[in-house]
Structure 1
Amino acid sequence: MPRWSTLLLDDASLAEMPELPLKDVLRHADLVTEQQPQPQALYERWEKQQWSAQAIELGPDREDFDKRLPKAARKMIEESIATFIIGEYTGLDLLGPILTGAPEERDHLYLGTQIADETRHTQLMLRLGEELLGLDPDPKRMLVQAWNMVTPAHQELSRVETEIIRELQQHPSDYRRWLRAVALFHLITEGVLALVGQRAIVNSLHGIPLLAGLKAGFTAMCRDESRHVSFGLHALRQGVLEGYGDDIREIIELAAPIALNIEEGGEVDSAPQGLTMKQLGIESLYRQLRLIGIEKEFADHVVDLSALKPAAEEDR
């Protein structure tokens, strides 16, 4: 393993990932985003951080999952994998128009790497669905099975994503609509939902000598996510400086309360004070809004809206 550093995950191989110190995995994306890397630097990180979804050995994981894992842990993993099957596959649809509408050449080049990442993540999720959960091996049928397993809030967020991306597809050169799509996908879906979910899985399996393939895959995805979220924050920071802050706030106000109420995976027991997924998502939201230059008062407002969301759903 490489020498210790605060960014130990940067240089770790796939085989080394299950043994990395937990805090280094959980803090990695925060450290990277705080550096505010530019698209070219993110491209260069991508070239150095390749891994193979096919190289992960899942046979022992299936034995662990079927015979050794407690029932509650199996349910948490099943729900989380179903969510990521939908999320990663949907990411491919969302990123196409975002790539096409990229305002700068460096943005365009970087986004090509993210599409490659989402393809790799989708391939891993399809393998986990088939080889770990026993879902239908046909991707189309598996996606239907996974859709029926995810929470209503996740389904609602997916519908919002479809509407925002459709707008961008119809107006591919509209910078305002491009920023709205980036705010939804990179900041909310990736930065609040996916990153927190990936960390929760890695966190819940820490110290358990089981599911090494699952640990390696989700740790590698955490590293990829640090690049994805960093790009989104870079683009949105520019958008705020150029006067598009209200458009970005509008999308966050719409989507963040939905994302914060997607609580698959439940409590993250070894996180400070036994934080819930929602609490971890709120922390991530505050951090990212600060990094793009949006005031804390707006973040407070969005968090207050998320507290009202469940009651509103009960009234339907």
Structure 2
Amino acid sequence: MVHESFQTVDSQLNWESPMYKLWEKAKKNGKWDPAEIDFTQDKIDYENMTDDERITILPLVASFAGGEEAVTLDILPMVQLMARQGRLEDTMFLSTFMFDEAKHTELFSRWQKEIGIQNIDLTSFHGDSYKRIFYEELPEKMERLNTDDSPEAIIKAATVYNMIVEGILAETGYYSFRQIFKKAGMLPGILQGIDYLNQDEGRHLRFGIYTIQRHVAGNEKNYKIFIDYMDELWPDAYGVIEYLTTLYDIQVAQDWVRTRFDFDSNIMREYAKRQFEIRKNQVDRARKYADAVQLEQEWTTEV
């Protein structure tokens, strides 16, 4: 790519753009450091868990650890695409996005190291649905952006990355961590990390929603691309949740299992279903706008 001019020389940054405002939020709120989180009590809690209780935490950690590494490795094509398209504010924000994902990866790896399970291979907890999304769809749709700038390519990449992985699976994972371990008064370190992740992912979701919405505004064909792909991915997204909740249900259904965790797995399933509908509805709102310019005017007042 050869540069013909530079935005900050011949004009200025768009100080009111939604992506510049997300950049501002990231600068202020994204300063946490995984290395500063104290996992001392987490180690004590884990050592005092029964084997059956560990079967509750390990699949969740395996899902997050693999997922955070995947999104760290796969985000770069979106950054490069925004740069090629001359979307400077998007590119600036995505530089913080990459930094966030790398910290999330460090968080779960550091937790495993501090707890003393860094040498345990947790990939056995990655079921077929998980592999379809994280091993196949996510890298494939993100890599496509290296050679394809089309609205379809962008919509599908943002859909699998932001709406499915972050907007459904991660959000449901955060909810589950809090429902299980916060209620049990255990694992305060990883719970603190989850709060930081949740805050970061809020910004990431705003990016994904806006990126899809600006292609949907005034364009029913693009809206259909989004809806069809969401519906295509949903069985595997729900399959990830179903796998994790079924593991939990199998454990607690056995009379000899004793656990301190009080958790209704059906709540997790219903939470995931609600997130799916919420993400579709968020994009659906863009259909009332005639074009992306009109959409941006409202986003400017909301972000």
| TM-score class normalised by the smaller sequence | 0.7 to 0.9
Mapping of residues 160-175 of structure 1, within 5 Å: 160-171=137-148, 173-175=149-151
> Is structure 2 residue 273 aligned with structure 1 residue 282?
yes
Contact map agreement 1:262 1:278 (CA 8 A) in 2: no
2:168 matched to 1:214?
no
Give the distance between the partners of 1:253 and 1:75, measured in 2 at CA. 31
Structure holding more helix per residue: 2
Residue in 2 that maps onto 1:178: 154
Count of aligned pairs between the two proteins? 249
SS in 2 for 1:54: helix
Pair 1:54 & 2:46 matched: no
Q: CA RMSD in A?
A: 2.4
Aligned position for 2:164? 188
1:230, 1:133 → 2: CA distance?
Answer: 36
- 1:77 maps to which residue? 57
**Distance apart, 1:175 and its partner CA:** 3.6
Kindly state the Cα deviation for residue 241 of structure 1 after the two structures are TM-superposed: 0.7
* Structure 1 counterpart of 2:255: none
Moved more, 222-231 or 97-106: 97-106
Verify the 8 A CA contact 1:265 1:277 in the aligned structure 2: no
- Identify the residue that residue 40 of structure 1 maps to in structure 2: 20
1:230 matched to 2:215? The reply is: no
Q: C-alpha displacement at 1:239, in angstroms?
A: 1.5
Change (3 A) 1:242 1:169: farther
How far did residue 70 of structure 1 move?
A: 4.6
Letter matched to residue 209 of structure 2: L
Q: Distance in 2 between matches of 1:294 and 1:251?
A: 17
| Distance in structure 2 (CA, Å) of the matches to 1:64 and 1:181 | 39
**Alpha-carbon distance in 2 for matches of 1:274, 1:149:** 17
| Gap runs ≥5 in structure 1 | 1-36, 137-141, 296-316
Quote the offset at 1:88 in angstroms.
0.4
- The answer to whether the 8 A contact 1:197-1:265 is kept is no
Rg comparison, structure with higher value: 2
Deviation at 1:201, TM superposition (A): 0.5
1:122 aligned partner: 105
Determine helix, strand or coil for the equivalent of 2:75.
helix
- In 1, are the aligned partners of 2:184 and 2:262 still within 8 Å (CA)? no
2:133 maps to which of 136, 140, 157 = 157
2-structure distance, mates of 1:133, 1:294: 47
TM-score (norm 1): 0.72
Pairwise CA distance, 1:270: 7.4
Moved more, 100-109 or 151-160: 100-109
Q: After superposition, what is the alpha-carbon deviation per residue over 1:26-72, rounded to whole angstroms, capped at 9, x for unaligned?
A: xxxxxxxxxxx9222222221121211000111321111111x3544
Residue 131 (str. 1) matches residue 114 (str. 2): yes
Is the contact made by 1:179 and 1:239 (CA closer than 8 Å) also made in structure 2?
A: yes
Q: Report deviation, 1:289.
A: 1.0
TM-score when normalising by structure 2: 0.75
Taking only the aligned residue pairs, the percentage that are identical comes to 18
In 1, Cα distance between the equivalents of 2:112 and 2:69?
13
Give CA-to-partner distance per residue, 1:74-121, whole Å, 9 cap, x none: 212110111111100100122111111124222211111111100000
Instruction: Give the conservation status (yes or no) of the 8 Å contact 1:101–1:175.
Output: no
> d(CA) in 2 for partners of 1:93 and 1:170?
17
Q: Which amino acid aligns with 1:250?
A: D
Compute the displacement of 1:252 (Å).
Answer: 1.2
Do 1:85 and 1:129's aligned partners in 2 also have CA atoms closer than 8 Å? no
State the SS of the aligned residue for 1:40: helix
Q: Is the 8 A contact 1:61 1:132 kept in 2?
A: yes
CA displacement at 1:259 relative to structure 2? 0.6
Matched residue of 2:36: which SS?
coil
CA contact (8 A) 2:167 2:275 kept: yes
Counterpart residue type for residue 157 of structure 1? I
- Separation in 2 of the partners of 1:294 and 1:73? 42
Equivalent-residue separation in structure 1 for 2:166 and 2:108 (angstroms): 16
